[in-house]
Chain A
Amino acid sequence: MNDPLQKSLDEHLADLALDVPPPRNLWPVIARRLERRPRRARPLVFAAAAGVVGACMASALTWAVLHGRPGSPAAPLVARAPTAARAPTAAPAPSFDEPRNANYVAARDSLEVSFRERLALLDPATRAQIEASLAVIRQAHEDIRKALANDPACPVLEQLWQSTWHDELDLYERVVRGTQPTMTRT
Chain B
Amino acid sequence: MLQIARGMDAAAEPVELIAAAAGGDLVAFEHLYRQFAPRVYGLCLRLTGQREAAEDCTQESFVAAWRALRDFEQRSRFTTWLHRIAVHTVLARRRGLRVQYEVAEPASGLPDVADPGGEAPPLDLERAIARLPEGARHVLVLVGIYGFSHAEAARTLGVAEGTCKAQLHRARGLLAAALGLETSS
For B119, the chain A residues whose CB sits under 8 A away are 15
> Does B20 count as interface, using CB distance less than 8 angstroms?
no
Contact A9 B175 (CB under 8 A): yes
Known: A13-B144, A152-B92, A158-B88. A18 touches B60 (CB 8 A): no
Cross-chain pair count, CB within 8 angstroms: 162
For A148, the chain B residues whose CB sits under 8 A away are 92, 97
Contact A9 B176 (CB under 8 A): yes
Q: Which of A27-35, A117-125, A128-136 contacts B (4 or more CB under 8 A)?
A: A27-35
Closest CB-CB distance, A120 to chain B, in whole Å? 32
For B68, the chain A residues whose CB sits under 8 A away are 154-156
For A96, the chain B residues whose CB sits under 8 A away are 88, 91-92, 158
Main secondary structure of the interface of A (DSSP, over half): helix
> Does A182 count as interface, using CB distance less than 8 angstroms?
no
* Residue from B41, B42, B67, B92 in contact with A37 in the complex, judged by beta carbons closer than 8 Å: B67
Contact A41 B67 (CB under 8 A): yes
> Does B6 count as interface, using CB distance less than 8 angstroms?
yes
* Residue from A15, A149, A150, A151 in contact with B115 in the complex, judged by beta carbons closer than 8 Å: A15
> Does B85 count as interface, using CB distance less than 8 angstroms?
yes
What string of 1s and 0s marks CB contacts (under 8 Å) between B81-104 and chain A? 000010011011101011000000
For A29, the chain B residues whose CB sits under 8 A away are 59
Q: How far is the CA of A4 from the CA of B176 in the complex (A)?
A: 11
What string of 1s and 0s marks CB contacts (under 8 Å) between A31-57 and chain B? 101100100010000000000000000
Max chain A Cβ within 10 angstroms of own Cβ: one of B117, B126, B156, B172: B172
Contact A9 B181 (CB under 8 A): yes
Known: A1-B1, A37-B63, A148-B97. A153 touches B92 (CB 8 A): yes
Further 8 A-B residue pairs, CB within 8 A, beyond A23-B55, A153-B64, A154-B68: A9-B176, A13-B145, A17-B42, A17-B114, A96-B158, A149-B97, A152-B97, A153-B85
28 contacts between A and B (CB under 8 A): A1-B1, A5-B176, A5-B182, A6-B172, A9-B175, A10-B1, A13-B125, A15-B114, A15-B119, A17-B114, A17-B117, A18-B42, A19-B39, A20-B41, A21-B37, A21-B116, A23-B51, A24-B55, A30-B63, A30-B66, A95-B156, A96-B91, A97-B157, A100-B158, A151-B64, A153-B85, A154-B67, A158-B88
B residues with a Cβ closer than 8 A to A are 1-2, 6-7, 26, 29-30, 33-34, 37-39, 41-43, 45, 51, 54-55, 58-64, 66-68, 71, 85, 88-89, 91-93, 95, 97-98, 111, 114-122, 125-126, 144-146, 155-160, 172, 175-176, 179, 181-182, 184-185
